[in-house]
Amino acid sequence: METHKIYIAPSILSADLLQLKTQVEMLTENGADFIHVDVMDGHFVPNLTFGRNVVKTLKRITSLPLDVHLMISNPDLYIEDYARAGADILTVHEEACTHLHRTLQSIHQQGIKAGVSLNPATPIATIENVLDNIDLLLIMTVNPGFGGQKFIPQGLKKIAEARRMIDTSGRDILLEVDGGVDSSTVESIVQHGANVLVSGNAIFGPPDIVAAMKQLKAKAEKA
């Protein structure tokens, strides 16, 4: 994966579950780069979503990397499960990890990529000491838990700060943004330095999901 190329990661949180297979196949065949899977436990965030069986099932229908976003407490307990289920990138929340360095090492021990995510209120400086241990940094631009929320504009400053930190480190780290990514925010998000764009409602909301994804990606690539 190239760290400056634009990647689009449709979030199946907003998919039509009755058409999940068709929708994921359509996006896979038409230029999606990752499939973003939001795992919520009703404890770390006030919502419940998918578990490892969904990851395992998605693996059978798409060749794209599965970008699994764990919004759960005690993620250490589940790393092996999600790696075995087929996660290619496993992202944990800094706020959910007492021993983040160890958690990231455990993810790498499974032979997959490790990501760390920061809530809107969490400063970038909290992950300064684990830059050597991550392949992806996820900046949340909404409070995690639900799709279709409004982009929090203070996130832009954090994206820029994260970009500077990554470039200074010289490490190959993807900079991902999640929450409120749509046609009105995507340009600015990319201009501030992000290169992986998660999008739920802006892709699955319109009737033509492929057209919506292509438009969003084209706008990001031109920004």
| Binding test (CB under 6 A) with ligand DX5, winner from 177, 178, 189, 212 | 178
Asked about 16 being catalytic, the answer comes back as no
Interhelix angle 20-29/209-222, rounded to 10 degrees, is: 40
Beta bridge partners of 91: 69, 115
- Does residue 13 bind ligand DX5 (CB under 6 A)? yes
Count of residues near ligand DX5 by CB under 6 A = 22
Asked about 38 being catalytic, the answer comes back as yes
Q: 66-71 and 35-40 as β-strands: parallel, antiparallel, unpaired?
A: parallel
User: In terms of CB distance, is 42 or 101 closer to ligand DX5?
Assistant: 42
Token pair listed for 139: 């900046």
| Binding test (CB under 6 A) with ligand DX5, winner from 33, 38, 41, 67 | 38
| Binding test (CB under 6 A) with ligand DX5, winner from 137, 142, 197, 216 | 142
- Does residue 181 bind ligand DX5 (CB under 6 A)? yes
Tally the C-alpha atoms within 13 A of residue 8's C-alpha that lie toward its C-beta: 26
Beta bridge partners of 67: 36, 89
User: In terms of CB distance, is 91 or 103 closer to ligand DX5?
Assistant: 91
Cβ-closest position to ligand DX5: 200
User: Coil, helix or strand for 176?
Assistant: strand
Q: What stretches of 7-145 show up as alpha helix (H) in DSSP?
A: 20-29, 52-61, 79-85, 100-109
By CB under 6 A, name the binding residues for ligand DX5.
Answer: 11, 13-14, 36, 38, 69, 142, 144-149, 178-181, 198-202
Catalytic residues: 38, 178
